Amino acid sequence: MVVIEAHGLTKRFGPLVAVDNVSVTLAEGEVLGFLGPNGAGKTTTIRMLAGIISPDSGYAIIAGRRTDGELEQIHEVVGLLTEHPGFYDRLSARRNLEFFAGFYSGINAAAQVDKYLKVMGLWERRDSKVGTFSKGMKQRLALARTLLHEPRVLFLDEPTAGLDPEAAQDVRRLITDLSHEGRTIFMSTHNLAEAESLCHRIAVIRTRLLALDTGEGLRRRFFRRQVVVQLETLSGPVTAVVKGLTFVDSVREDGNQLTVELTDPERNRPELVKAIVEAGGRVIGVAEKQYPLEEVYLKLVHEETGHEPPAH
């Protein structure tokens, strides 16, 4: 079931085009990672989808409700975590959540506040003033506030930014659990490893949408799959045999390993290993070459600007 649909969202601030004709769909339970450099339009897109600001053109449908006419209904099904959530520092965690719960009708505010204070590991500090909380604790409290009304759709803007490793891990675990519950999550992040581990698909934006695919799909856009064969020793005859195989497109030597580009990696890999062994090579290991998502991201962004990414 499609839960989020964006159709040609465009936003200008004076002469500046902040978001240019962005279209995307998300299914129920899907987590989408939204990546891009600073100023690329990530936050502006989230604010349009959540019904906080209006697009100059285009529209979105969130859980069956259109952003150009059903804003109140959208706010009932959407939870928004901003990059810099604000609280009343002189009030306790409980009183803060009770205040925000009062904006939603049809929920048991006290029960929901207690539930998410416990879920977020803040129960023991429920009566402490929020001004005494660490950044990680405030981020957990912000997530509790986002979930009070049990929204079907979550927009998370840099949910782990500035958190220590333990707090970030807790937030990532919660995002995974929420996805398993069927919540649809649109998440902006600069953390590429986090995006790949949490998200079903990844979108890269630089004002306009540059790419939308799985992490593996994005890699294949720029890099052909290669097999790395580690040998006990690498001899000339073994390399010559590999280069002569009809299904080998390219070979690169590096120490005692060969990096081989195959016509059909799945089918040709066993044949490659067999040929190396028959040529006298002692194979220690065989693995597919892994390309960090960072390399793909940099290629996408620099392809858009016309500049080459920095060499690694």
Task: State the average pLDDT for the chain.
Answer: 91
Flag whether the pTM goes above 0.85.
Answer: no
Range of the domain at 240: 224-288
Domain at 243, CATH number: 3.30.70.100
Within-domain flag for 308: no
Same-domain pairing of 25 and 53: yes
Same-domain pairing of 193 and 283: no
Which band of pLDDT confidence, cut at 50, 70 and 90, is reported for residue 304? low
Distance CA 150, CA 266 (A): 44
Same-domain pairing of 275 and 196: no
> pLDDT digits over 61-108, tens only?
999 999 988 888 898 899 999 888 889 999 999 999 999 999 888 899
Same-domain pairing of 117 and 191: yes
Within-domain flag for 154: yes
Same-domain pairing of 50 and 186: yes
The structure tokens 């590991």 sit at 121
Domain at 22, CATH number: 3.40.50.300
Within-domain flag for 93: yes
Task: Determine the residue type at 244.
Answer: G
Burial of residue 43 (CB within 10 Å: 0-12, 13-18, 19+) is: buried
pLDDT above 70: residue 312 = no
Within-domain flag for 278: yes
Same-domain pairing of 239 and 192: no
Question: What do you get for the CA distance between the two ends of the chain, in Å?
Answer: 42
Looking at residue 234, the DSSP 8-state letter turns out to be -
> pLDDT digits over 227-237, tens only?
999 999 998 89
Within-domain flag for 24: yes
Number of domains in the chain: 2
Indicate the pairing of strand 283-288 with strand 226-231.
antiparallel
Task: Determine the residue type at 52.
Answer: I
Same-domain pairing of 81 and 190: yes
